């Protein structure tokens, strides 16, 4: 009995001696396991690091700097002077051009969104049937999307000249020519025509791909029920295309508020400020007048306006979108 008790005591002493060693080994194993988990989780972050760095450097930082600059008066040469909300007061209470630019931007956006979605929907339904002619038309319609807006604006400036091709066609049909870009009543319409012409191919193909993804069983069931074509279009086709139409509404609205190239090349904001838009207004005050604080304040107003408009879209229209 004594020998067994002695051996048990010795074993207990050995285990007590090895406890710190075992504890240290467990800690080392935990550290190794933790290190392996970190190394295993790093590759996705490492791969997205260049994109995130560029996003922070070229998107987030300029936005924050623009917001900060909107509270200063600065001409790009001297030191910045703090003016608080003075630039915003100048925009809304002193400078009339800003309200004109905001109004013109809203008119341009509404017109482009309406006509671009309307014609894109019409062309997508027309091109839905597979044929050689439709395949050729699809390729031709997509070509304007590949062209730069700068080149498109230059070409349309020639076409819409008073001695250009458009007036030549009108005169051929004994219709008086128009002063497309030199009349305040037609200048904005001309800029809208360019935007719709350039974007209709891409938007139509986007809707066409969505149309072809709709299950044919739905339309077959509607035909078996003798559903009229218009009823089938508005009750089946439009609801099933609502995700794509909603996406188009958001993207076209954002791009329309940022219109600049066509206005800069074709009208320079004229005649009589009839095509003065927000981005061109910002460009004018930053480059021509060297009032960077006022330009930054206008940029902040544009940013806030787009954020509010996007939230309204998602709150009011996003609820009516039908996802399959």
pLDDT at position 27 is 61
**Residue 71: which residues within 8 A CB-CB, separation 6 or more?**
82, 83, 84, 85, 87, 293
Instruction: Supply φ then ψ for residue 270, to 5 degrees.
Output: -105, -165
Q: Evaluate whether the domain defined by 86-320 bears CATH number 3.90.79.10.
A: no
Q: Where residue 6 falls among pLDDT bands split at 50, 70, 90? A: very low
Please determine, for residue 229, whether its predicted confidence score (pLDDT) is greater than 50: yes
pTM above 0.85, yes or no: no
CB 102 within 8 A of CB 278: yes
Bridge partner residues of 81 (DSSP): 73
Q: What is residue 195's predicted lDDT score, i.e. its pLDDT?
A: 94
Half-sphere exposure of 215 (CA within 13 A, CB side): 5
Q: State the pLDDT at residue 24.
A: 60
pLDDT score for 114: 95
- Quickly tell me which residue has 């219109």 as its tokens: 259
Who has greater pLDDT, 184 or 14? Answer: 184
- Report the 3 state secondary structure along the chain: CHHHHHHHHHHHHHHHHHHHHHHHHHHHHHHHHHHHHHHHHHHHHHHHHHHHHHHHHHHHHHHHHHHHHCCEECCCCCCCEECCCHHHHHHHHHCCHHHHHHHHHHHHHHHHHHHHHHHHHHHHHHCCCCCHHHHHHHHHHHHHHHCCHHHHHHHHHHHCCCCCHHHHHHHHCCCCCCCCCCCCCCHHHHHHHHHHHHHHHHHHHHHHHHHHCCCHHHHHHHHHCCCCHHHHHHHHHHHHHHHHHHHHHHHHHHHHHCCCHHHHHHCCCCCCCCCCCHHHHHHHHHHHCCCHHHHHHHHHHHHHHHHHHHHHHHHHHHHHCCCC
Domain boundaries, the chain: 2-53, 86-320
As a whole number of angstroms, the distance between CA 288 and CA 1 comes to 105
Q: Which of 129, 100, 153, 143 is nearest to 260 (CA)?
A: 153
98-144 per-position pLDDT tens digit = 889 999 999 999 999 999 999 999 998 888 887 888 888 888 888 88
Residue 72's DSSP bridge partners are 82
The band of 35, judged by pLDDT with boundaries at 50, 70 and 90, is low
Please compute Rg for the chain using Cα positions.
32
Q: 82 - beta bridge partners?
A: 72
97 close to 288: Cβ distance less than 8 angstroms: no
Does 33 score more than 70 pLDDT?
A: no
Closest to 281 (Cα-Cα) out of 305, 266, 298: 298
Beta bridge partners of 73: 81
Percentage of residues in the chain having pLDDT higher than 70: 86
- Please state, in angstroms and rounded to a whole number, the distance separating the CA atoms of residues 99 and 229: 45
- Please say whether the beta carbons of 170 and 178 come within 8 A: yes
> How far is residue 254's CA from residue 199's CA, in Å, rounded to a whole number?
14
């Amino acid at each position: 009995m004594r020998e067994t008790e002695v051996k048990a005591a010795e074993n207990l002493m050995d285990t007590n001696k090895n406890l710190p060693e075992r504890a240290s080994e467990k800690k080392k194993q935990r550290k190794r396991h933790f290190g392996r988990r970190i190394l295993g989780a790093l590759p996705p972050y490492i791969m997205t690091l260049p994109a995130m760095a560029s996003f922070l450097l070229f998107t987030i930082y300029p936005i924050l700097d623009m917001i900060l600059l909107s509270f200063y008066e600065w001409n790009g040469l001297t030191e910045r002077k703090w003016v608080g909300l003075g630039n915003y007061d100048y925009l809304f209470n002193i400078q009339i051009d800003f309200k004109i630019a905001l109004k013109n931007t809203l008119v341009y956006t509404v017109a482009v969104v309406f006509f671009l979605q309307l014609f894109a929907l019409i062309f997508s339904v027309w091109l839905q049937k597979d044929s050689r002619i439709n395949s050729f038309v699809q390729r031709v319609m997509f070509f304007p999307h590949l062209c730069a807006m700068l080149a498109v604006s230059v070409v349309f400036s020639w076409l819409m000249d008073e001695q250009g091709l458009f007036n030549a066609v009108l005169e051929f049909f004994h219709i008086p020519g128009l002063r497309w870009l030199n009349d305040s009543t037609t200048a904005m319409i001309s800029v809208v025509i360019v935007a719709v012409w350039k974007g209709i191919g891409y938007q139509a193909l986007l809707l066409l791909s969505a149309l072809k993804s709709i299950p044919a069983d739905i339309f077959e069931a509607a035909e078996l029920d003798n559903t009229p074509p218009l009823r089938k279009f508005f009750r089946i086709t439009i609801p099933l295309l609502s995700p794509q139409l909603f996406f188009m509404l958001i993207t076209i609205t954002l791009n329309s508020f940022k219109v600049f190239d066509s206005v800069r090349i074709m009208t320079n904001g004229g005649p009589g400020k009839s095509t003065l838009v927000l981005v061109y207004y910002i460009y004018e005050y930053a480059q021509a007048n060297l009032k960077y604080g006022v330009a930054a304040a206008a940029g902040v107003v544009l940013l806030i306006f787009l954020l509010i408009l996007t939230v309204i879209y998602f709150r009011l229209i996003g609820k009516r979108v039908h996802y399959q």
